Amino acid sequence: GFGPLDMTVCILGSPTAFLPVLLEAGTRCPGAMVLCLSPTWASRVPSETSPGTWSLLLSRGVSFKVGGHSALETFVPPRRANYVTGTFAPGDPEGSWVGELARDLDCPTGGSATLAHRLEDTLVTRWVLAARANLPVPPTLAFVLGARGDLPTEPVAPGVRLVRLEEPQGQQSLVQEEVDAFLGGTAMEPYGQVGMGEVGGVGGTG
């Protein structure tokens, strides 16, 4: 019952990961899903319904129609996004502007730059799974430089050993002791036949 101007699902950044969704949306709800390929195609304005948040308005975008047809359109007046997702990966060159446009919106979003950064951090992911969700993770030894406030000391994450180093210099003996204890511990017994070059649980992070 919705027309293309009643609902606007906005995809920010590269369409590569979303192409099947864009094509399917063109069939099921032509014109309702809009691809935004440039930060100049969108603007943020203070929300009229949720103080402290922003509305995302699209002045241009690629819309999708039945049969896989697409068209670059100019929207006058600009279309307000009702749902926003996109390429939030920190390593992606488009990640910065995508994350900025999607920050603190008054509509639901399919992710954020902060969430993408956390999900790509293997150590944080393992700590959350083990400490918060009580899920088993591979035996992990990690050397952490600095405070790393995103990795609290409590609660303890089973299977994850964090060694905090104040500075990288002069810590060789401590590192060697921790590695020896880790490899000789009960957690690594199932991997006893694995060569050192194949042990993936030993890692470090800055």
* The pLDDT of residue 191: 73
Chain centroid offset of residue 14 CA: 15
Q: Which of 88, 117, 146 delimits the end of a domain?
A: 117
Classify residue 56: in a domain, yes or no: yes
Q: Where are the alpha helices (DSSP H) in the chain?
A: 19-28, 95-101, 113-120, 122-127, 172-184
Same domain? For 164 and 67 the reply is no
Same domain? For 51 and 110 the reply is yes
Classify residue 3: in a domain, yes or no: no
3-state secondary structure of 43: strand
* The pLDDT of residue 196: 43
Q: Indicate the number of domains in the chain.
A: 2
Same domain? For 150 and 106 the reply is no
* The pLDDT of residue 64: 93
Classify residue 203: in a domain, yes or no: no
Same domain? For 32 and 48 the reply is yes
Same domain? For 168 and 109 the reply is no
Q: Which residues of the chain have pLDDT under 50?
A: 194-202, 205-206
Classify residue 112: in a domain, yes or no: yes
Classify residue 75: in a domain, yes or no: yes
Same domain? For 75 and 169 the reply is no
Same domain? For 16 and 70 the reply is yes
pLDDT digits (tens, 9 = 90+) for 63-113: 999 988 999 999 999 999 999 998 886 655 555 788 899 999 999 998 877
* The pLDDT of residue 93: 56
Strand 54-64 with 70-80, pairing:
antiparallel
- pTM assigned to the model: 0.62
Same domain? For 97 and 147 the reply is no
Range of the domain at 126: 121-188
